A and B are shown apart, each in its own frame.
Chain A
Amino acid sequence: KQEVTQIPAALSVPEGENLVLNCSFTDSAIYNLQWFRQDPGKGLTSLLLIQSSQREQTSGRLNASLDKSSGRSTLYIAASQPGDSATYLCAVRYGNQFYFGTGTSLTVIP
């Protein structure tokens, strides 16, 4: 079974700080990797999707990178804001199967 790990489980930063969230996977033969945001008790909102042939994707203050050889993806959030407080999950796709990490709970302190 594929494993997807997100460390740390929780992170607290002051407003304005740049931060990096990590996602690790055991098998490098991925199809794509997707980052999501989840607010408490809610569904998942797609942030960025990186195809296996890509190295990074950017949207606004978010930048996601992918290094298949090391089994790692990072989500970089620039100039963090209190509204960024949420749980961030990564999902790795192998064929038609999706494997989700347990998420990093981010708190941005005003």
Chain B
Amino acid sequence: SAVISQKPSRDICQRGTSLTIQCQVDSQVTMMFWYRQQPGQSLTLIATANQGSEATYESGFVIDKFPISRPNLTFSTLTVSNMSPEDSSIYLCSVKTGYNEKLFFGSGTQLSVL
């Protein structure tokens, strides 16, 4: 299994500012995933973060808005830049690990943008 520490757990931010979310995993993993969950909806993949290379972004998400860092195999950050109220969501980091490649998630960051 994997234990993922994600912070902050929640934040209320002003329009136009940026927030950086951190995820720390208790074991080395090749890929980390960042998801967004808008109110009442399911999870949408933002990007996949690989150590040593640029993150791979899904359609509709761009690096300027959601820059990601992956400095080593246990840590990643996602920044939500120039925020607007439409960015209010739960942001989740996830890893795939173990012999059966089970998905594990952090505790989530609930972001509200005023």
Query: Taking beta carbons and an 8 Å cutoff, which residues of A are in contact with B?
Result: 32, 34, 36, 41-46, 49, 51, 89, 91, 98, 100-103
Contacts and interface: CB of A to CB of B under 8 A. Distances in A.
B113 interface: no
B57 to A, nearest CB: 14
Contacts of A49: 100, 102
Contacts of A34: 102-103
Contacts of A36: 105
13 contacts: A32-B101, A41-B90, A41-B108, A44-B43, A44-B105, A45-B105, A46-B105, A89-B42, A89-B43, A98-B45, A100-B43, A102-B41, A103-B42
A23 B47 CA distance: 25
Given A44-B92, A44-B94, 6 more contacts: A41-B10, A43-B4, A45-B105, A46-B103, A98-B103, A102-B41
Interface SS of B by simple majority:
strand
Contacts of A41: 10, 90, 108, 110
Interface SS of A by simple majority:
strand
Contact of B107 (A43, A46, A91): A43
Contacts of B101: 32
B6 interface: yes
Given A34-B102, A34-B103, A49-B100, A43 B45 contact: no
A102 B107 contact: no
Given A101-B42, A103-B42, A32 B100 contact: yes
Most interface-central of A34, A41, A49 (chain B CB within 10 A): A41
B1 to A, nearest CB: 8
Interchain residue pairs A-B with the least CB separation, the first 8: A43-B108, A44-B105, A43-B105, A43-B107, A102-B42, A100-B42, A100-B43, A41-B110
A87 B105 CA distance: 15
